[in-house]
Structure 1
Amino acid sequence: MNASVSSFTVRGPAGGLEAVLDVPAPDLFAQPLGTVVIAHPHPQFGGTMHNKVVHTMARAFVRRGWRAVRFNFRGVGASEGGWDEGRGEVDDLLAVVGAAAPAGEALALAGFSFGAFVVAQAVARLHPGAEPPHALAREIAHLVLAGIAVTRFDAAPIPADLHERTLVVHGELDETVPLAGVLDWARPQSLPVTVLPGGEHFFHGQLPLLKTLVERHVRD
C-alpha cells in the first residue's frame, strides 16, 4: 500500500485523538499531492479508523499519491473524551485537519456512514463561502462520501461549487441507510449519487470496486 505508516496524536477539543498517517511510496511520488483526512463510522456501533471501508479509501488515495490520515473520534480506541452525538465529532475532524493537513497543500476529505455525515458538516464550515468564516477555511480538492448517514442525522448539503469534486457512493440494498433517503438528500442539490447494484451498507464483496471508484475520482 505505501512506504510508511506512522501513529501520532492530535490535540483535540476533548483531549488527545489517536491517528495514523499513511504515506505513498517515495519512489513513485517524490512529493505527496496533498492530504486526505478520513472519518470512520458510528463510534457506538463499533466504528474505528481500522474499519475496512475507511482503510479501502485510504489505500485508494495513497495509490494516487496522497497522504492519508485516519483517526479515532473522541472516546474511541486511545482517543480521549466521550461520544457527543455528532457535534463534538465535527470539531474532532476539524482539529485533525488543522494539525495534520498542511496549509497551502491540497486537502481532501472522506468519510464512511456516520463519518460521511461528519465530513458534510465539516465542509459546511471549511468552505470559503461559509458564514461566519472559519479559521481553517480553505479549498477542498476532493470529497468522498460512502454510505452517508442521512436518515439518522441531518446532513448538511454540499456547496454547489464542490459537486464536481464530490463522489457520493451508496449501496442499492443498504439496510442501514436506505438508498431512498440518500436520493432525497441529494435530489434538491442536483448532486449525483453513484449506486452500486446489489451493494449493502458495508460494501461486502464490493470493496475492490469502491477502491477503483475512489481512485478514478481522485485521478480525475
Structure 2
Amino acid sequence: MPEVIFNGPAGRIEGRYHPSKTKGAPIAIVLHPHPQFGGTMNNQIVYALYYGFVERGFSALRFNFRGVGRSQGSFDHGQGELSDAAAALDWAQAINPEARACWIAGISFGAWIGMQLLMRRPEIEGFISIAAPANRFDFSFLAPCPSSGLFVHGSQDRVAPIKDVMSVIEKVKTQKGIQIEHQTVEGANHFFENKTEELMQVVGTYLDKRLGPKEG
C-alpha cells in the first residue's frame, strides 16, 4: 500500500494509493469524516471501503484533507476540502489516463464533499455516501443528481438522523434514469461502532449489483 504525496491547492496532500493490476481499471476515491472531530484517512470505515474497492479491481486512493496528518494547510469548512478532493481525482486520473470511470465514497463530512465533487465531475459514475449529515450541511445542490449511488445510514444515528437524509433522497429520486438506493444498518450509530462488518456487507452487495461479483 504505497504512501503517496501529491500537490493540492493548500500544499502537499498525504495519501495511500493502491494501483490496479488491470489496464484501464476504474478509479475509486475515499473521503474521510470531519477533520475537526478526529476524521482521518485511517478511519476504520475509510480503510474498509478502500479495500472493498481494491478487491474489486479498482485503483483506489484515500487521503488526508488539508491540515490532517501530513497534509499541509488548515481546515476550510468544506470549500478547501472540496478542492482537495478534486486535486486527488486529478492526480489519480493523471497516473491512470486509461481509466474508464470513477467512483467516489465518503463518510459523514466526506459524503457531503463527495456529493459536491460528483456534481462537478461527469466522469464519476457511482457513489457510496455513508452517514451523510443532511441535518448539518446543505445537500440541495443535488438537483438533479447526475449518477446512481447508495446512501447508507445507521438506524441509531443521533448525529445525522435518517429522517433528514431521507428528505434529500426523496427529492433526488425523482430524476430520470438515476437510481438512488438507501439502506439502513440496524443498531448502528453514526460511527458504525461494532457494525463495520454489517456496513461493508451492505456496500458489497450494492457494488456486486452494479459491477458484478468480485473475482476469486
TM over 0.5: yes
Structure 2 gap segments, 5+ residues each: 174-179, 211-216
Q: Is 1:205 the equivalent of 2:194?
A: yes
Q: Is 1:154 the equivalent of 2:128?
A: no
Q: Is 1:175 the equivalent of 2:158?
A: yes
Q: Is 1:98 the equivalent of 2:87?
A: no
Deviations 1:27-75 (A, max 9, x none): xxx4473210110000000000000011111111111111210000000
Say whether the 8 Å CA contact 1:124–1:158 is kept in structure 2.
no
Say whether the 8 Å CA contact 1:150–1:181 is kept in structure 2.
yes
Candidates 79, 91, 103, aligned match of 1:108: 103
Q: Is 1:119 the equivalent of 2:114?
A: yes
Say whether the 8 Å CA contact 1:120–1:158 is kept in structure 2.
no
* Counterparts of 1:142 and 1:8, CA distance in 2: 24
Aligned-pair distance for 1:103? 3.9
* Counterparts of 1:81 and 1:187, CA distance in 2: 37
Letter in 1 for 2:142: P
Deviations 1:100-137 (A, max 9, x none): 1334412111100000000011111113xxxxxxxxxx
Aligned-pair distance for 1:19? 0.6
* Counterparts of 1:158 and 1:197, CA distance in 2: 29
Say whether the 8 Å CA contact 1:74–1:80 is kept in structure 2.
yes
Say whether the 8 Å CA contact 1:75–1:81 is kept in structure 2.
yes
Structure 1 gap segments, 5+ residues each: 128-138
- For residue 136 of structure 1, what is the aligned residue in structure 2? none
SS at match of 1:94: helix
Aligned-pair distance for 1:213? 2.3
SS at match of 1:141: strand
Say whether the 8 Å CA contact 2:183–2:202 is kept in structure 1.
no
* Counterparts of 1:121 and 1:179, CA distance in 2: 20
Work out the percentage of aligned pairs sharing the same amino acid: 34
Q: Is 1:192 the equivalent of 2:184?
A: no
Say whether the 8 Å CA contact 1:61–1:215 is kept in structure 2.
no
Q: Is 1:141 the equivalent of 2:133?
A: no
- Aligned alpha-carbon RMSD (Å): 1.7
Which deviates more, 61-70 or 72-81?
A: 61-70
- For residue 71 of structure 1, what is the aligned residue in structure 2? 63
- For residue 73 of structure 2, what is the aligned residue in structure 1? 81
SS at match of 2:45: helix
Say whether the 8 Å CA contact 1:199–1:206 is kept in structure 2.
yes
* Counterparts of 2:64 and 2:54, CA distance in 1: 19
